[in-house]
């Protein structure tokens, strides 16, 4: 139990996927202009990361490890993730059009996203059990959501500031991100004894 709590808090705050591990930067920078869209993106990413962690865990331990095919994990994982997201999209379109309107457009963006594949690979590298994997995936998504919400709110206010022409857009976003990463540094050593 203690290990699960440690995993959860470290992946949300200390080893935040975006601000500390550099995963999921493309959607982070792309969708963080508006806080409503950012929240939707964060929720979609959390959902996909959690489910992807679980599904890839199964595929790894039931298909790859018994036949000593661990080296195929990259190919199998990305295949499974892409299939799964496509499947979820179809189910969502049919069962909940409202959800489809809110989150649907973000799902294809998340498929080829380093955060999702990254969390799946990290899970097997750390040798997590199924519960630990689920917590890691969920926490990772939650950490992403926290970061992207902070970023979106800052960028909304940045719109009204006098930024030099050459720094508009990506450069200032990166610098803001570095400030965010700095502030998250304060969480280092959270669990030291």
Partner 1 sequence: MGFLFRSGEIFIKGVWRENPTFRLVLGMCPSLAISTSVVNGFGMGMAATFVLLGSNIMVSLVRNFTPSKARIPIFIIIISTFVTIVELFTEAFTPGLHKALGIFIPLIVVNCIILARAEIFASREPILYSIADALGMGVGFTLALMLISAIREVLGNGTILGRPIFGPDYDPAIVMILAPGAFLTMGLLIGLMNYITRKR
Partner 2 sequence: MGMGSDSVILISIIVLGGIGLLCGILLMVASKFFSVAIDERVGELITMLPGANCGVCGFAGCAQYAKNLISGQSPANSCKVVDQEKSMAIAAFIGVKNEGIVKEVAVLRCQGGDGVVPRSADYTGLKTCRAAALFFGGDKACSYGCLGYGDCVKVCPFQAISRGENGLVVINAAKCVGCGLCVKECPKEMLLLLPSTSEVYVACLSKDRGKKVTQVCKKGCIACRKCEKACPVQAIVVEDNLAKIDFLKCTNCGLCGEACPTESIGRRY
Binding-site ranges for partner 2 (CB under 8 A): 59, 63-64, 67-69, 72, 75-76, 79-80, 83, 86-87, 90-91, 93-95, 101, 157, 160-162
CB of 68 to partner 2, least distance (A): 6
Q: Residues 85, 89, 92, CA angle at the centre, nearest 5°?
A: 135
Binding mask 132-171 for partner 1 (x = CB under 8 A): --------------------------------xxxx--xx
Residue with the two structure tokens 């892409």: 82
| In the complex, minimum distance from the CB of residue 118 to partner 2, in angstroms, rounded to a whole number | 20
Tell me how far apart the alpha carbons of residues 118 and 114 are, in angstroms, rounded to a whole number: 5
Burial class (CB in 10 A: 0-12, 13-18, 19+), 124: buried
Instruction: Choose the one of partner 1, partner 2, none that binds residue 127, judging by a C-beta under 5 to 8 angstroms depending on kind.
Output: none
Whole-number Å distance between alpha carbons of 186 and 86: 39
Q: Contact, 180 vs 19, CB < 8 A?
A: yes
Segment contacting partner 1 by CB under 8 A, of 3-11, 47-55, 72-80, 136-144: 72-80
Q: How far is the CB of 159 from partner 2 (least distance, A)?
A: 9
What whole-number distance in Å separates Cα of residue 91 and Cα of residue 81?
Answer: 15
User: Which of the listed partners (partner 2, partner 1, none) does 165 bind, with a CB threshold of 5 to 8 Å by partner kind?
Assistant: partner 1
């Amino acid at each position: 139990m203690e290990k699960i709590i440690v995993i959860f808090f470290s992946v949300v705050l200390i080893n935040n996927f975006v601000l500390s591990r550099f995963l999921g930067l493309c959607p982070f920078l792309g969708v963080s202009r508006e806080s409503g869209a950012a929240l939707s993106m964060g929720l979609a990413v959390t959902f996909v990361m959690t489910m992807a962690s679980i599904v890839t865990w199964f595929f790894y331990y039931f298909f790859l490890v018994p036949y000593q095919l661990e080296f195929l994990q990259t190919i199998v994982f990305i295949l499974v993730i892409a299939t799964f997201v496509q499947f979820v999209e179809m189910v969502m379109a049919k069962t909940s059009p409202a959800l489809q309107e809110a989150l649907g457009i973000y799902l294809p963006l998340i498929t080829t996203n380093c955060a999702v594949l990254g969390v799946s690979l990290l899970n097997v590298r750390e040798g997590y059990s199924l519960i630990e994997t689920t917590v890691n995936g969920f926490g990772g998504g939650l950490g992403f959501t926290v970061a992207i919400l902070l970023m979106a709110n800052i960028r909304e206010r940045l719109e009204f500031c006098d930024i030099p022409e050459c720094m508009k857009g990506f450069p200032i976003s990166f610098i803001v991100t570095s400030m965010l990463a700095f502030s998250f540094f304060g969480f280092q050593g959270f669990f030291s004894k």
